[in-house]
Amino acid sequence: MAEITAALVKDLREKTGAGMMDCKKALTESAGNMEDAIDWLRKKGLSAAAKKSGRVAAEGLVAVASAPGKAAVVEINAETDFVARNEAFQNFVETVAKIALEVGDDIETLKAAPYPGTGRNVADELTQMIATIGENMNLRRAKVLTVKQGVVATYMHAALKPGVGKIGVLAAVEGPGEIATLETLGRQVGMHVAATRPDALDVDAVDPAALERERAVLTEQARASGKSETIIEKMVEGRVKKYYEEVVLLEQIWVHDGESRVRAVAKKAGVTLTGFARFQLGEGIEKPKEDFAAEVAATAGV
């Protein structure tokens, strides 16, 4: 029997897309013969993942998990919304969020973390899910926030089950006070963030490139008025302030009363908002445009 080396296992995994442990078992069962191992995986339905890896996965679920002083949010994508209603997939996403709480939000570290009760890591369990459910899936991103004193509250918009849904938010609330009170405020911040989609926590955190682009557009718009450069500069600064009120969390109007600034709400509560994360399922993923007529024509051989 041929020696089952790490290189051989890696080669089989690249050929089939199956999990590392499944590849090792296939090679063991096939006495190290690569072709027989591929057939073994195909018979078990474990090599199907490779065929699905090219499909766009823009559906799926977002999940949040929390512990004292920290919380995590993850997004795992699939091809169709149907998968989001699959209990096994929901449990998988929920479990990965809990694992992120322990190992952090680096994706490669998260993929390599042990998946409870399987003998596999997260990446291999995901491959197993792909083979079982029959759709391409992707562990897209994760974020963990922590506080030294206070809470990291979680909010899930339109949850399919507790902590699992389509828009997940973390809100880090730093400061003294009753945990229940801080959690309530943090959840309100989470609801606000879900609704307003801020880009940055404070003015200093605004992306300089995005600000420069906005300033350039505003300047050209102001010049069209034909006013002097001095007036134009004042007009631009006023509009930049308005831009901050749209994209900066602390500068936004608090959705819960429609008049206070978020920073004023935090100050009144005696806390500091130190961070947030907002994951909306599929945002930024370009979905292919389907041409039904062309698809029918291709199928008919026209």
Mean pLDDT of all residues in 284-299: 54
Shared-domain flag, residues 75 and 117: yes
Q: What pLDDT digit, counting tens, does each position of 100-119 carry?
A: 999 999 999 999 999 999 99
CATH number at residue 44: 1.10.8.10
Shared-domain flag, residues 131 and 93: yes
Shared-domain flag, residues 113 and 170: yes
Residue 217 structure tokens = 């557009």
Position 288 in a domain? no
Q: What pLDDT digit, counting tens, does each position of 139-191 carry?
A: 999 999 999 999 999 999 989 999 999 999 999 999 998 999 999 999 999 99
- Is the pLDDT at 120 greater than 70, yes or no? yes
Shared-domain flag, residues 276 and 256: yes
Return the amino acid letter for 176. P
Residue 53 structure tokens = 């890896």
The answer to whether 201 and 249 are in contact (CB under 8 A) is yes
- Is the pLDDT at 97 greater than 80, yes or no? yes
Shared-domain flag, residues 151 and 272: yes
Position 79 in a domain? yes
Note the pLDDT of residue 274. 97
Position 292 in a domain? no
Q: What pLDDT digit, counting tens, does each position of 11-48 carry?
A: 887 777 677 788 888 899 888 888 888 878 776 766 65
Cα 36 to chain centroid, rounded: 38
Mean pLDDT of all residues in 194-220: 89
* Percent with pLDDT over 90 in the chain: 54
Position 300 in a domain? no
Note the pLDDT of residue 55. 58
User: Facing residues of 280 across strands?
Assistant: 167
Between 238 and 277, where is the model more confident? 277
The answer to whether 27 and 1 are in contact (CB under 8 A) is no
Domain count for the chain, please give it: 3
List of residues 6+ apart from 58 with CB closer than 8 A? 77, 79, 282, 285, 287
Residue 71 structure tokens = 């919380």
Domain encompassing residue 14? 6-52
Note the pLDDT of residue 11. 82
Beta strands in 214-289 (DSSP E): 272-280
List of residues 6+ apart from 47 with CB closer than 8 A? 16, 17, 18, 38, 41, 131
Mean pLDDT of all residues in 283-290: 66
Note the pLDDT of residue 49. 52
Position 16 in a domain? yes
Position 296 in a domain? no
DSSP designation for 289: P
- Is the pLDDT at 58 greater than 80, yes or no? no
pLDDT band of 3, cuts 50, 70, 90: confident
Sign of the Cα torsion 114, 281, 278, 186 reads negative
Beta carbons within 10 angstroms of residue 3's beta carbon: 7
Shared-domain flag, residues 45 and 127: no
Mean pLDDT of all residues in the chain? 87
Residue 302 structure tokens = 């026209």
Shared-domain flag, residues 255 and 119: yes
Assign 152 to helix, strand or coil.
strand
The answer to whether 241 and 261 are in contact (CB under 8 A) is no
Shared-domain flag, residues 196 and 211: no
Shared-domain flag, residues 154 and 274: yes
Q: What pLDDT digit, counting tens, does each position of 41-55 carry?
A: 776 766 655 455 545
Shared-domain flag, residues 266 and 171: yes
Position 168 in a domain? yes
Residue of 115, 141, 7 whose CA lies nearest to 62? 141
Mean pLDDT of all residues in 1-12: 81
Position 299 in a domain? no
Note the pLDDT of residue 295. 47
Assign 166 to helix, strand or coil.
coil
Instruction: Return the top range by mean pLDDT from 93-102, 200-209, 213-222.
Output: 93-102
Between 59 and 192, where is the model more confident? 192
CATH number at residue 211: 1.10.286
